[in-house]
Amino acid sequence: MTQASWAYTDTVKEHFMNPRNILMDEDSYKEHGKGVTGNVKCGDEMIVVIKVDKEKGTIADCKWKTFGCASAIASTSVLSEMVKGMKLDDAYNLSAKDINRELGGLPDHKVHCSVLGDKALRMAINDYYVRNEMEEKVKKEEERVVCKCMNITDQEIEHAVLEGARTFYELQEMTKVGTGCGECEQEVTQLLETYKTKHFCEV
């Protein structure tokens, strides 16, 4: 593979070629929390497991396994390094943009791969809280229906933006949002700009 044909940064290449903290033996790893997201039948699936220093409330270890592309592998590899020693609350609030910045940037059509990693991490942290009877600390990411005619949620709109939608028309083509009565157009447009800023502003 020539440098000209490689569309990623050297950091992405390094973490893809030499990924850190891979979960080699899932059965023998005694995790304190586990998160699984994605769907291997559709492409990327992400597994993230953590061990917690209970006295400090920090992540002592983080391992992962993914079935996906170079971006998914590199994103989760760098994530697993970033969170070690981090407070659980800080790790929970780690965003795809933080991961993207650490990698030096991903192509726009690959940013969704970094979202898988931080979502699986949040699930692992919530799982740790549940296992330790700390349900009051569990944070739920609930979907909200934005387009009632087509039953389209805010998370579906965010996913479409991550998959390449940049205009209201492109969102309509991908999700059918706003193709009924059209009353949701203003809110959908605001969400579109919010998610574009959240995931694709300068890193």
Tell me which architecture the domain covering 3-137 has in CATH: Alpha-Beta Complex (3.90)
Predicted pLDDT at 107: 64
User: Cβ distance 23 to 65 under 8 Å?
Assistant: yes
Q: What is the dihedral of CA 36, 44, 168, 100, to 10 degrees?
A: 80
Which of 31-35, 36-40, 169-173 ranks highest by mean pLDDT?
A: 31-35
Residue 193: pLDDT over 90? yes
The reply to whether 42 belongs to the active site is yes
The reply to whether 113 belongs to the active site is yes
**Per-residue three-class SS string for the chain:** CCHHHCCCCHHHHHHHHCCCCECCCCCCCCCCEEEEEECCCCCCEEEEEEEEECCCCEEEEEEEEEECCHHHHHHHHHHHHHCCCCEHHHHHCCCHHHHHHHHCCCCHHHHHHHHHHHHHHHHHHHHHHHHCCCHHHCCCCCCCEEECCCCEEHHHHHHHHHCCCCCHHHHHHHHCCCCCCCCCHHHHHHHHHHHHHHHHCCC
Predicted pLDDT at 1: 46
Domain boundaries, the chain: 3-137, 145-200
CATH 1.10.10.1100 fits 145-200, yes or no: yes
Catalytic residue among 62, 113, 147, 184: 113
> Could you report the per-residue pLDDT of 37-76, keeping only the tens digit for each?
875 554 567 899 999 999 999 999 999 998 777 778 888 8
Catalytic residue among 42, 62, 181, 201: 42
Q: pTM score, two decimals?
A: 0.73
- Burial tier of 89 (Cβ tally within 10 Å: 0-12, 13-18, 19+): exposed
Predicted pLDDT at 136: 92
Average pLDDT, the chain: 84
2: confidence class by pLDDT, cuts 50, 70, 90: very low
